[in-house]
Amino acid sequence: MRRRRFHLSIWESLVNRLAPSVPQLDTGDPITAAVWNRFVYAAGFHLRAPSALLYQTISQSVASTTPTRIVFDSAVRDTEGGHDPAVNASRYTIKTAGTYLVTIVAAMQSYTPPGGEESLAIIVNGGVFWAIHILPRDPQMTNTWFSCTAEIPLQVGDYVEGQLWQDSGQAQDVPSAFSQPAAWMGLHWVGV
């Protein structure tokens, strides 16, 4: 029997969406309202899957040799309410389990002396690195721009962050003086 009961409360549909699952039917099974509605739900879910696009408008300092989470104070969208700019603003917390495409872009000022490293990473649950981009630190560049992309399987409650790191011996800023935000993080549910 491949059919499964499907009860989706209004609360669940708004706060903690479930990944869709349209059942296969056996011979003689009717296409009931419940089965049809699961298809309707699935179509809506796939067209508007859990998604967020966060960005930073306030300059942030990155201390030397200190892993620093990027603080996102604003959001273009956040379909599931996974980001709270007032509490743990660096985090996007997963509300719907699945596999997510995560991208991060960030800039950081470059200072002397040359040598050493600077990096941007995508980190899950405070410690698991899913993507990282390390560059040789070169003060000939006023700012260094990085980007990272990863496809990440995530459970409800997992949280995703961006991390900057540098070893110049002094604090470097994520600058806010550009005509655009200096840090973005996008997440999109792409499958189970």
- Decide if residue 29 touches another protein (CB under 8 A): yes
Q: Which is nearer to another protein, 52 or 89 (CB)?
A: 52
Q: Which is nearer to another protein, 72 or 100 (CB)?
A: 100
Q: Decide: 167 and 65 in contact? Cβ < 8 Å.
A: yes
Chosen residue from 18, 75, 116, 176 binding another protein by CB under 8 A: 116
- Decide if residue 17 touches another protein (CB under 8 A): no
Say which residue the tokens 């490293």 belong to: 117
Please give the full DSSP string across 2-57, using - where no structure is assigned.
Answer: --------HHHHHHSPPPP-PPP--TT----HHHHHHHHHHHHHHHT-SEEEEE--
- Contact pattern for another protein over residues 152 through 191, marking x by CB under 8 A: -x------------------------------------xx
Least gap, CB of 171 to another protein (angstroms) = 20
Q: Decide: 20 and 41 in contact? Cβ < 8 Å.
A: yes
For residue 13, what are the contacts with CB-CB under 8 A and spacing of at least 6?
A: none
Eight-state DSSP code of residue 86: T
Is-cis flag, bond preceding 30, omega within 30?
no
Q: Which is nearer to another protein, 59 or 125 (CB)?
A: 125
The interface region with another protein, picked from 70-78, 87-95, 123-131, 177-185 by CB under 8 A, is 123-131
Strand ranges (E), the chain: 51-55, 60-62, 68-69, 74-78, 92-93, 98-109, 117-124, 128-136, 143-154, 159-166, 172-174, 183-191
What is the Cα 133 distance to its own chain's centre? 16
- Decide if residue 18 touches another protein (CB under 8 A): no
Chosen residue from 18, 75, 132, 171 binding another protein by CB under 8 A: 132
Q: Which is nearer to another protein, 19 or 75 (CB)?
A: 19
- Decide if residue 137 touches another protein (CB under 8 A): yes
Please report, as ranges, the residues that interact with another protein according to CB under 8 A. Answer: 19-29, 31, 35, 39, 42, 46, 99, 101, 103, 114-117, 119, 121, 129-138, 147-151, 153, 190-192
